[in-house]
Amino acid sequence: MDRPDSLVGRAVAGAYICKDWELRVTARCLDEDLNADEATSFESILGLEIIKAFVKDRATEATASKQIRPLSSGQEIWRLGYGHDHCGATFYDEDEGVIWLVAYGRHRSGAPDDFFPYCKGLDVEGRLLPVQADIARMYRDRDKWFVEAVTIEAPQALKAARETEGEYRCTIGGELGAGLAIEVVEELEATSITVAFKPAGGGPLTEVTLQQGQVLLQSLTCGKWEMIGRMPSRNLEPDEVAFTITLVAGEVA
Amino acid sequence: MSATTSTRVVRVPENTHNEATRLAALRQVQTGEMLADAWREYMENHREEFAKDLEKTAKLLRDGTLEKLAEFTSRNADARAAKAVERLNSKRAASDASEPAGETKPARV
């Protein structure tokens, strides 16, 4: 997924947005390791030293020079360090485009609360990796950004499509690849808008894409869109769906 | 419907792949052809549901707030997250709980 440029380098809701991924902290780590509220915003923890190190070290590099091992999660967990003995553990989920801070502590060899045995304990208990609530929160944040972006970008795309001969192609909300074609039928004083969409980053059409497409269609113009099998000038690409709506004189798009 | 085909790789769960391959063999069609049929059937069966969701989205855009629209867009977030967690945990393997953890340089591939 591409992220809107306007968000890159900013803490938004529960994340810090980087160019190629976002940084997040699991609820367990927030609560138990950072003594913060599980639902806290990323901005409110930006002052913590480990979070400063997280942003500094993981904004451009997803991994580090050392891994925390052996763990049973089967995932690569990377050490994040700052100062003499402060340690964090990060997990890069490439499929989702997110780096999680999953644990924080201090490395004092032999101490009962030493960071590495602590990580091992969390791993054995199945509490090291992000859980369903963490990921659902991420999805909700992303859906919110998408909706906000669409309401701004859809009218701009419609304007550009009106000025374009043939089909106007664009990316909406960083996530949806869209093609817009406007046809004016003068004798009927009607305008038809046809829109095809698919995931911007490639990959199969999913339920999420369809939900995002619904927001796009209704942001272009509220009304009864009909699903169709092709664009005016071409067949649909695999993983693409198309919809059309006809507006007669007096109806506004 | 276009007869254009794509050779792009789509990842599906192994069980789905195996079942689709077996069923395609029984029906004497290509697996891809059968999956395309299934996709068309899905879209046809969900057309009304999709239309209802479109109406609801339109209503929220007209009369609701962006917050409400975002909530509606996220209506399946928990189910999607459950699938993501399943994917994360699929690599889980038994490890010796008594073996101490430490930091190491990644193994060379």
Q: Is A101 helix (H, G, I), strand (E, B) or coil?
A: strand
Contact state of B96 with A70 under an 8 Å Cβ cutoff: yes
Residue-by-residue DSSP string for A23-51:
EEE-HHIIIIIS---TT--SGGGTTSHHH
With CB atoms and an 8 Å threshold, state whether B2 touches A236.
Answer: yes
**CA of B100, closest CA in chain A: separation in Å?**
7
CB of A120 within 8 Å of a chain B CB? The answer is: yes
**Which region, left, alpha or beta, applies to residue A51 given φ > 0 means left and ψ of -120 to 50 means alpha?**
alpha
Of A97, A130, A163, the position where a domain reaches its end is A130
A74: left (phi over 0), alpha (psi -120 to 50) or beta: left
Q: From A74, A99, A130, give the residue that closes a domain.
A: A130
Task: Give chain A's domain count.
Answer: 2
Instruction: List, in sequence order, every residue forming a beta bridge with A15; answer none if it has no partner.
Output: A12
**A227: chain B residues, CB-CB within 8 Å:** 43, 47, 50
C-alpha–C-alpha distance, residues A20 and A51, integer Å = 18
Q: Which residues does chain B have within 8 Å of residue A219's beta carbon, measured at their own beta carbons? A: 61
- Domain of A120 in residue numbering reads as 5-130
Helices of type H across A70-193: 115-124, 132-162
pTM over 0.90: no
| A-B contacts at Cβ under 8 angstroms | 159
Q: Over the stretch B66-104, which tens digit does the pLDDT of each residue have? A: 888 999 989 999 999 999 999 888 877 665 556 777 778
Mean pLDDT over B19-42 rounds to 84
The tens digit of pLDDT for each residue in A37-74 reads 988 999 999 999 999 999 999 999 998 888 998 888 88
Asked if residue A117 and residue A82 are part of one domain, the reply reads yes
- Of the listed ranges A77-81, A249-253, B14-18, the one predicted with least confidence: A249-253
Residue A239 domain flag: yes
A223 and A172, same structural domain? Answer: yes
Tell me, yes or no, whether A81 lies in a domain.
yes
Calculate the average pLDDT of chain B.
Answer: 80
* Same-domain pairing of A26 and A112: yes
- Whether residue B81 and residue A75 make contact (CB cut-off 8 A), yes or no, is no
- Chain B residues whose CB is inside 8 A of the A126 CB are 89, 92
Please give the ipTM for the structure prediction: 0.82
Q: Does A83 touch chain B (CB under 8 A)?
A: no
